[in-house]
Amino acid sequence: MTNTALSQGPVDLIREAFHYQSRFAGSTMVFKIDFPVTEDPNFPLLMKDLALLAQTGFRVVIVPGAKEWIDTVLNEHGIVSNYSGAQRITQSAAMPFVEMAAFHVATRFMTALSGSRLDAVIGNFVRARGLGVVDGLDMESTGTVDKIFTGSINKILDLRMPPILPCIGLSAAGKPYNVASDEIALAAAAALGAAKLFIISLNGAFRKEGRRLPDDLETDENGRIVRLTPVEVEAILAVNGNAHGDRPLQELALALRASRAGVERIHIIDGREEGAVLRELFSNLGSGTMVYADAYESIRPLKSADIPDILRLMEPLMRQGILIRRDSVVIQEKKEDYAVFEIDGSIHACGALHEWGEDQGEIAAVATDMVYTDRGLGRRIVGYLIDKAKKKGLQRIFVLTIRTQDWFESLGFAEASVESLPEKRRKIYDKSRGSKVFSLDLD
């Protein structure tokens, strides 16, 4: 990353902004904003920037943190909270006050957005369930996310209105629970397939001072760690021990979980810094710490233990004749050819690259879990297989398809003839299936 902000002319900045605007407009971004940020004089400016983003086509979701305000309200009513680790044990008697405080904070966001002439919707978008008894402690009205109502959220986003998710969830029977806003932000970002999660607090970028860190981390001249991969975050958390009570470490841990749940980029920024969100979004300089998953990081070679999982993915497609039938023996024989996309320990997409000689490879058995379609998993699996083919020195890859030609065309493949296939593959080409050949030159 180059530090060119000061030397950048306005035209370069505008160009850069347009580039990012066209790349991310239409994508969902979740903003988790801690309560102290709402008390800062720059809070209205932050809201103005979020309103601007929503008005220009970004799908903005807001998750307000309310911890400190809940503390204040409970104190005023003489209620002392007990904690289990960092988690408040919300007594059932305190719940009406917690709800009041949570909705009060959510309303502050709505009011600030209406100052920018933007309507927003505070809603019950979270179904919760009680945590029950943890380590012998009754967590009473403290809950966790059971389900995010993505359908309702998306309807509101389609109207260009930011949905606001207070830290309250309702059980299926309508009982309210206090749910940590970190958990809501994480679950919402994962369920909505968010392109980005912003963690906005008073801490801002993760810094080097006073920390034991791996040697090779990239920092700027002020000790700000500019970007981290999930693997680097894991290393930091491992060296610095338990995140309990250390909010910057907790924020990194949250970013790691979001990344593992499929959110590509997580930005940790200081909510007091004017324009921090815009700088982070629209310039390659940024002002916080970005945790980013390499596009192929969740993809790995197939292990024998994964075979039942990929058969489960492929079964409905094999039944419909979209994919040719394979069984576990056939897959095991060609195990090295397969790659899988894993999120949080489950497999959600797969694909294979079979070599046929004559410097050609076939991309096959590409399948995405139906619940995870349209999130770029298929594109990334094919991208990974193309990289693999290039590393093997192949000149050309091809695919035989009966239903997915448009998709492969959108990935740069072009129609080719059966005669162009390598001889070994041509010999077993099944005419009765009538598959079309699409190919991509790799030079």
Residues lying near ligand COA in the complex (CB under 6 A) are found at 317, 322-323, 349, 364, 366-368, 373-379, 399, 401, 403-404, 406-407
Q: What angle do CA 276, 231, 199 make, to 5 degrees?
A: 25
Three-state DSSP class for residue 217: coil
At closest approach, how far in Å is the CB of 359 from ligand COA? 21
Which residue number, 73 or 366, has a Cβ lying nearer to ligand COA?
366
Sheet holding 289-292: strands in order across?
121-122, 163-164, 59-64, 28-33, 196-201, 265-270, 289-292, 227-228
Rounded distance between C-alpha atoms, residue 77 and residue 80, angstroms: 9
- Specify the DSSP class assigned to residue 219: B
Q: Which is nearer to ligand COA, 194 or 317 (CB)?
A: 317
Distance between CA 173 and CA 151 in Å, rounded? Answer: 20
Q: 301-317 in b/e burial notation, b at 16+ Cβ within 10 A?
A: ebeeebbebbeebbeeb
List 355's β-bridge partners, or say none.
361
Bridge partners of residue 292, in order along the sequence: 265
Nearer to ligand COA, 206 or 341 (CB): 341
CB of 350 to ligand COA, least distance (A): 9
171 vs 435, which CB is nearer to ligand COA?
435
Q: Is the dihedral of CA 42, 45, 47, 53 positive or negative?
A: negative
Sign of CA pseudo-dihedral 355, 358, 359, 360: negative
Query: How far are the Cα atoms of 126, 132, 174, 223, 301 from residue 217, in angstroms, in the given order?
Result: 37, 41, 47, 10, 28
Closer of 332 and 373 to ligand COA (Cβ): 373
State in angstroms the smallest separation of the CB of 430 from ligand COA. Answer: 14
- Between 375 and 388, name the residue whose CB sits nearer to ligand COA: 375
DSSP conformation letters of 131-169: --EETTEE-BTEEEEEEE-HHHHHHHHHTT--EE--SEE
Minimum distance, C-beta of residue 59 to ligand COA, in the bound complex (Å): 14
Residue 402 Cβ, how far from ligand COA at the closest point, in Å?
A: 8
Report the residue number, 8 or 404, with the smaller CB distance to ligand COA.
404
Nearer to ligand COA, 108 or 348 (CB): 348
The string of DSSP codes covering 181-205 is HHHHHHHHHHHTT-SEEEEEESS-S
**Residue 11 CB, nearest distance to ligand COA (Å)?**
31
Q: Shortest approach of ligand COA to residue 351 CB, angstroms?
A: 7
Query: Taking Cα atoms as reference points, which of 354, 204, 174, 365 lies closest to residue 274?
Result: 204
Q: Residue 219 contacts by C-beta under 8 Å, 6 or more apart in sequence?
A: 208, 225, 226
- Beta-strand pair 289-292/299-301: unpaired
Least Å distance, CB 1 to ligand COA, is: 28
The least CB distance from residue 159 to ligand COA, in Å, is 20
The CB-nearest residue to ligand COA is 378
CA distance 289 to 225: 6
Q: In the complex, what is the shortest distance from the CB of residue 384 to ligand COA, in angstroms, rounded to a whole number?
A: 12
Of 153 and 366, the one with the shorter C-beta distance to ligand COA is 366
Q: Is 311 within 8 Å of 338 (Cβ atoms)?
A: no
- As beta bridge partners, residue 301 has 339
Q: Which is nearer to ligand COA, 206 or 413 (CB)?
A: 413
Q: How far is the CB of 339 from ligand COA (least distance, A)?
A: 13
Residue nearer to ligand COA on the CB measure, 312 or 403: 403
